[in-house]
Amino acid sequence: MIINYFAAAILVTPLISMAFPAIDYWRSCKNETKVGPQGEKADYNYFFYLLVIGVFGMWGTWIFGIILLFATHDTSFIKHGSVGSAPVGLFQVIGLIIFSAGAVTYNLTIVAAGKYLRPAPAGTLDKHILIDKGPFALIRHPLYIAYLLINVGLSLTFLYVIPLFSAVLIVLGIYPTARAEEAVLVKQLGDKYIRYQQHVGMFFPRSISKSK
């Protein structure tokens, strides 16, 4: 059980640390004056729903997996066997690393953006500003990349396929949603955001990204 508890601790720690900034974030969403999506909502509405379903799938798998680790009487979290020539346990360790990278990225994104990180249908704040620090200095949409890393990490860690389905939904939803969000930001922030787009990649650092 020690290994199970250790793995559960790795998985539950970021879940707790993510809850506090998230609560403050959603509270700020309700209390601030907002500018609507300005006609862009219809262009990404269905894709945004795919993204949301993928994210809910991520949270569900995450919480269920933690409960399973605490509840199971199996003393070995790290599984035996192999996939091809690689041991299954290696995939689980890699999964925990990928998951941790996603969780850290998520937290850094929330902290860096604060109240200016808006859910797409909520629009932007009346006095919105450009956030280009922290993860936003590397990519324009780090939160979406965090979702993908967490899903892939969970899939490898628990050896479940379900998180990969959530990851596919997120992949289908993020680009149209991100483009619509950026159209709103360009209208509101003008040349400042255009210059930001030119220097920072959408989902990958500009040095390896061709996104515009």
Q: Which token pair is 157? A: 């860690």
Q: Which token pair is 23? A: 């609560």
The model's pTM? 0.78
Residue type for position 60: G
Domains of the chain: 2-199 (1.20.120.1630)
Q: Distance (Å, rounded) from C-alpha 170 to C-alpha 69? A: 26
* pLDDT tens digit at each of 212 positions of the chain: 445 566 677 777 777 766 666 666 566 555 554 554 444 444 556 788 888 888 888 888 888 877 877 776 554 555 555 444 446 678 788 888 999 899 899 889 988 887 777 665 555 666 778 889 999 999 999 999 999 999 999 888 887 788 888 899 999 988 888 888 888 888 888 999 999 999 999 999 876 444 44
CA–CA–CA angle 203, 209, 210 (5° rounding): 110
Task: Give per-residue burial for 63-77: e unless 16+ CB within 10 Å, then b.
Answer: eebbeebeeeeeeeb
Q: What is the DSSP string of 83-134?
A: ETTEEHHHHHHHHHHHHHHHHHHHHHHHHHHGGG---GGG-EETT-----SG
